[in-house]
Structure 1
């Protein structure tokens, strides 16, 4: 570390705990990586939790002239959030929100994820205006700092135009709350000269006719290139000018500590259609005709884009036969009522009825069909990422043209792609705004590759600005990769005005220097990110960061993106041999940061654009590391019945000791033993389960006349009973059998059940041979029990259900508990909801099986007050990690207790997850089956399905 940073670090330690000051090579590289194709490694990463810490940090940075860069989610595509100085990350203290009257406004701290903000507003049929594609990962700080928009936002509903007020902190550490008159009055006194200068610049701008007209002309389109100069022309109060300048400033003018948005309607009724045109000209003519109609989104997809997704599951067959020049429009309209929606569809259809199309125009309101349409559009970027050559990156650029010249612009882009040899580049975008994205793969490993990229960008810039006077950055922000072209787009007067604003608000140039404005004409060609081959599982990762919001270890160690970043660096160092000492250190630190604290839950794959499950990488690494334990794993698998019996004995002994000496003494005793053993002894908590009741061994009688179901209790539910003091002391198997019989079903237990397992405990440790051995053994057992698939199988634990579903014999119809209850039990039960609130945890396996909404609906039938805690995804218990690496479970559930403090009970679908949930919440979590059994009674005069009915279902 450079001496200046060592001194800065010492001063930081006076007001920020050492645990939030990060300087080691592994984490600075990991945390310093964003979604762009640039790589800068910070000297220090600082996790801040409060406004006061930001104020002190900025004052210290100003005193020592140390540059700082603010980072929210790091989904920025243009290099806005990387630095080789000090990176400031947002901690848990920045996730607050406040709904105003009627939800007409919402105040959001910068660490709130955009999708979460919309979740808070959904009950009121409201949402925030910006709707970037990254909204389920991007945070409000980044959304506002880049003035991100999206498919339906346009310009009217972006952050600039829906901003109500702001809490902002300037480079000198001054806090201003524009919603508070006292704060504004104090600021007008303390920063009188700054406001006078802003006022003067605004007056000069408005009086400069040419410049004023230039600004008005530039913002007729989507535009995020440079600073928001329309703040100077559209507002007169310098405080209003100041807060609007912050929007789109990419952290170069100040820190936005809270933003209050005017919310917009989120109409519940929607209809979509996909319209195909033989030629681009007809498509663009349709765009112009659709603009005045009540459309919410009009997305253009060129033939290359359609070709990239035409073989995906669910895509219409005729797409493959479309002619070479074909282009599509994805159109959506939204309304407050079905009648209004039908009227809007009629107006839209009439507007383009005279245009020739390749397929009849048909709007759909079916949610599944509409989702399929949007899957085409959303699959374009990942489609390129998934098939690119290893070692290349995916670049997505973002330009805007006048709508009336869209066809010519698309043709010009295609000519430039041909000139610079980018045959696979594709174009799509928000056609209604003339906003096009073009996507291509790029290597930076040879001078020729760099030359092609430089030529492409120069030609695009000259074409967009010189021929169309368009926007070089419509919604992705300027960043580093477009900073050299800001003057080209805006002209000298506007460019110099931007520098004046930067120097006024950041005179020491310490806020994200080099981003947005940069006098180096080649800055976009420096510090390019290497993308070496590392492992086929992860080589297609584009480092977008969409995975991070769902990862349970995101605030403890690394996220999936960061694990991939470090594994790639390890692979690069192994291949180059350039720094053996650094490689050894990386490997050593990665064991805990990357492998030991990965839950391997696979939730990352559900939000990954290219479907990567980073847990597969972790299991592959564990397999390599555990290679010498393969024989032991096989022995355990072969003697699994004995292992289960031993586990029950151990649980009985622990439960007896707990009852004998009490919770406090038990915690002290086991804690001491764990400490003495160097944490080899698993963690004990008061939520530790007792032993489960012994399973029945005799099969049910076959002649009862009732429909039959084979019940497969997991090894966890066969071994682990309720914890001491639970509301219901029956085992899960006992409650499940009671519920199944209550609904009229005959329950059959497979023979040899005690020794069986889905293989999950072995798979999670990378012991794949033992895992597959147990899975296959279980499959054979189920084939016998189900009479070769004649009977359905009820699986009571969602992680086991997921594991079996992924590779089970196709003859076996296995249902997870949630599926079976929803499809087969509910019609035969009357459920009386309780008034007492219930907390629900949706396990990662339930989410991956697509059961989240069904699970919420089932729980909602049983309580009038269902609580689904915010900010919680995977619980991090991860089978046995809650015992062996309890800090992972603690970090993942650190906000749980506050979220469920008014509840007395919680439900989930995995026994091990429920242990950690109970411990960290202070309330008793059990399977949702307990709740359903308690709230239900048999429905009278019911007609039960036969085995044949169930087979058809």
Structure 2
């Protein structure tokens, strides 16, 4: 534990804010993953100089640094034992919108950025399902994409330039060239060795058609000879382990003039998925989503009014955003070539509901029981589209044999399958089974030469499987990339690589004691965050519905009545004005009632 005198001295040196109280550290100890690490302190930098001073302070005190924006990481990359660098208070500005680009700071919510781009007739196509909550810095760090990748590509395809502060505290800007020279020779040497390594190039060429975000963007060595471009694309998917982002420049494209139209169909034959996707790709679809039979069962139970047939093997949602009238006629005509259950769903109101359900399938898994939670440690696998049916069959069998319920769905156009097993979370009963699940799931994925992550990035729950995915030769090059940018491993250690030899179930936040039906369903997805007046007033950061919930849990379960921080902690909880916006947002998701949970606590109804 750091001496208070050292922290007080550091506080005087920066313009931003420093949080050291134990209850603040508790708030930042979790993200949306299964992991928990209580940090030493939290820094909310106001300037780039603050970040540089934080790096100096971290080095002097042998602390590591974890960057954080929305805190919605599913792989444990927004938590750490050292310093949490929270950008949400001061690095939340859109800096410039040009005719075909946008320059932004990292803590801008994806949907907010889209809204500003729309005013200029532009948009950023790779839209993650969590766009209402996730932030651009995290999207770049995880190489995010969403359903639009089937037509427009991943966020990597839109990277133009990036400014970051490296592990030495130096500013690097790939647009101006500032700070690039120090990495140029080492990267060029590495690039030549990779390109001349026939075995490695054979692996990369073979895997070009698998959308991958499991590790560093090693494909960039083959695609970019310019060092500035290479560095920018290496930052994509680096999960905060190579540099600290301060400015990001992305390509923006003209917004389609027609309003996108979606239809849904129910397939009776899972093995028609490949041909179906080939057909809608030929027609220029802008999204194609798959919801597997097991997820349809969950959706049917939660939303019976949707009329989902029991015979369907999968539901596929298809979206078109140009030449719509002509394309829909051709699409409808092509449906006779497939075995469908019932008629295509065309009603716009119903389709809006289907899209909402699809985007909320992960939180919906919280509805299985009063003591279970979805396990998000194997959530983001990918294979070639042709292998989707076989992988789904394998996954169904794995979870049937384990007697574990699961939700299976994903961006079928790019081969992404999201996997959300439901485990007992109120006891330690299922902690050890986390490894068994991962072993079996990844064994199935590797059978099809697939990947452990397609858009959620690498992280603590994947690092122990990274070498198996890529092989020793490629893995060696990945380690070298880290060595070039951060040889002392102070930037988000033990996330990309399992350097501390952790087991996948080490440092998990399970078991979790339920404190009532109002708070238990909360998945910390942060979908309600931007509607919270307290969050907006506080300039984001540490305040908001999920933070209030976690503070109440900490107050009830861990804090003694003589704790000196009680008054300040309870004052913070009461910055919630009980407006109920969080409850309203969650009505169509999992039904958490965090406003009512806060009310119950104030009335003394929440007890251990």
Q: TM-score interval w.r.t. the shorter chain? A: over 0.9
Q: What is aligned with 1:49? A: 46
Q: What is aligned with 1:101? A: 98
| 1:92 counterpart SS class | coil
Cα gap change, 1:401 to 1:134, in 2 (>3 Å):
same
1:435-477 per-residue CA deviation (whole Å, 9 max, x = no partner) reads 1111122235666512322111011111211x10101111111
> Shift of residue 328 of structure 1?
1.1
Cα distance in structure 2, aligned partners of 1:349 and 1:284:
18
1:704-729 per-residue CA deviation (whole Å, 9 max, x = no partner) reads xxxxxxxxxxxxxxxxxxxxxxxxxx
Q: Work out which of the residue numbers 291, 309, 328 in structure 2 matches 1:301.
A: 291
Cα distance in structure 2, aligned partners of 1:542 and 1:208:
44
Gaps of 5+ in 1: 574-578, 626-953
Cα distance in structure 2, aligned partners of 1:97 and 1:419:
49
Aligned pair 1:14/2:2, yes or no? no
Q: Work out which of the residue numbers 449, 455, 461 in structure 2 matches 1:469.
A: 449
1:54-69 paired onto structure 2 within 5 Å? 54-69=51-66
Cα distance in structure 1, aligned partners of 2:520 and 2:345:
40
Q: Work out which of the residue numbers 47, 71, 76 in structure 2 matches 1:74.
A: 71
Q: Work out which of the residue numbers 342, 347, 350 in structure 1 matches 2:333.
A: 350
Cα gap change, 1:586 to 1:151, in 2 (>3 Å):
farther
> Is the Cα–Cα contact under 8 Å of residues 264 and 351 in structure 2 kept in the other structure?
no
Q: What is aligned with 2:435? A: 454
1:645-694 per-residue CA deviation (whole Å, 9 max, x = no partner) reads xxxxxxxxxxxxxxxxxxxxxxxxxxxxxxxxxxxxxxxxxxxxxxxxxx
| 1:14 counterpart SS class | helix
> Shift of residue 585 of structure 1?
5.2
> Shift of residue 31 of structure 1?
2.5
Q: What is aligned with 2:185? A: 196
Cα distance in structure 2, aligned partners of 1:553 and 1:447:
35
1:351-407 per-residue CA deviation (whole Å, 9 max, x = no partner) reads 44321211233545x3x2331231332342222113333264542611111111211
> Shift of residue 341 of structure 1?
0.8
Cα distance in structure 2, aligned partners of 1:444 and 1:357:
38
Q: What is aligned with 2:25? A: 28
Aligned pair 1:602/2:589, yes or no? no
Cα distance in structure 2, aligned partners of 1:308 and 1:91:
35
Cα gap change, 1:300 to 1:446, in 2 (>3 Å):
same
1:301-350 per-residue CA deviation (whole Å, 9 max, x = no partner) reads 11221111224457333x2x422x62211111111xxxx21111123333
Aligned pair 1:566/2:544, yes or no? no
Cα distance in structure 1, aligned partners of 2:106 and 2:463:
24
Cα distance in structure 1, aligned partners of 2:36 and 2:180:
40
Cα distance in structure 2, aligned partners of 1:454 and 1:501:
28
Aligned pair 1:404/2:386, yes or no? yes
> Is the Cα–Cα contact under 8 Å of residues 195 and 222 in structure 2 kept in the other structure?
yes
| 1:315 counterpart SS class | helix
Cα gap change, 1:509 to 1:488, in 2 (>3 Å):
same
Q: What is aligned with 1:495? A: 475
Q: What is aligned with 1:442? A: 423
Cα gap change, 1:165 to 1:485, in 2 (>3 Å):
same
1:257-302 per-residue CA deviation (whole Å, 9 max, x = no partner) reads 1111111343232221110122322344422333322111111111
> Shift of residue 487 of structure 1?
0.3
TM-score (norm 2): 0.92
Cα gap change, 1:444 to 1:217, in 2 (>3 Å):
farther
| 1:358 counterpart SS class | coil
> Is the Cα–Cα contact under 8 Å of residues 224 and 478 in structure 1 kept in the other structure?
yes
1:36-78 per-residue CA deviation (whole Å, 9 max, x = no partner) reads 1101110101111111111222233234432111100101111
> Is the Cα–Cα contact under 8 Å of residues 32 and 87 in structure 1 kept in the other structure?
no
Q: What is aligned with 1:322? A: 310
> Is the Cα–Cα contact under 8 Å of residues 155 and 222 in structure 1 kept in the other structure?
no
Cα distance in structure 1, aligned partners of 2:400 and 2:500:
28
Aligned pair 1:112/2:94, yes or no? no
> Is the Cα–Cα contact under 8 Å of residues 80 and 250 in structure 1 kept in the other structure?
yes
Cα distance in structure 2, aligned partners of 1:168 and 1:606:
38
Return the index of the structure with the highest Cα Rg.
1
> Shift of residue 498 of structure 1?
1.0
Q: What is aligned with 2:399? A: 417
Q: What is aligned with 2:276? A: 286
1:384-783 paired onto structure 2 within 5 Å? 384-390=365-371, 392-395=373-376, 397-422=379-404, 424-443=405-424, 448-465=429-446, 467-530=447-510, 531-554=512-535, 556=538, 558-573=543-558, 580=560, 584=563, 588-594=567-573, 596-608=574-586, 609-624=589-604
> Shift of residue 155 of structure 1?
8.2
| 2:12 counterpart SS class | coil
> Shift of residue 612 of structure 1?
2.5
Aligned pair 1:167/2:163, yes or no? yes
Cα distance in structure 1, aligned partners of 2:567 and 2:98:
53
Cα distance in structure 2, aligned partners of 1:469 and 1:250:
23
| 2:296 counterpart SS class | helix
Cα distance in structure 2, aligned partners of 1:439 and 1:155:
26
Q: Work out which of the residue numbers 155, 180, 204 in structure 2 matches 1:215.
A: 204
| 1:537 counterpart SS class | coil
Q: Work out which of the residue numbers 37, 41, 44 in structure 1 matches 2:34.
A: 37
Q: What is aligned with 1:148? A: 144
Cα distance in structure 1, aligned partners of 2:232 and 2:141:
11
Deviates more, 1:154-163 or 1:560-569: 154-163
Gaps of 5+ in 2: none
> Is the Cα–Cα contact under 8 Å of residues 147 and 159 in structure 1 kept in the other structure?
yes
From the two aligned structures, give the one with the greater helix fraction: 1
Cα distance in structure 2, aligned partners of 1:315 and 1:125:
37
> Is the Cα–Cα contact under 8 Å of residues 106 and 138 in structure 2 kept in the other structure?
yes
Greater relative contact order, per chain length (Cα 8 Å cut-off, separation 6+): 2
Task: State the Cα RMSD in Å.
Answer: 2.4
Aligned pair 1:85/2:74, yes or no? no
Q: What is aligned with 1:205? A: 194
Aligned pair 1:361/2:349, yes or no? no
> Shift of residue 547 of structure 1?
2.4
The number of residues matched between the two structures is 597
| 1:436 counterpart SS class | strand
> Shift of residue 111 of structure 1?
1.1
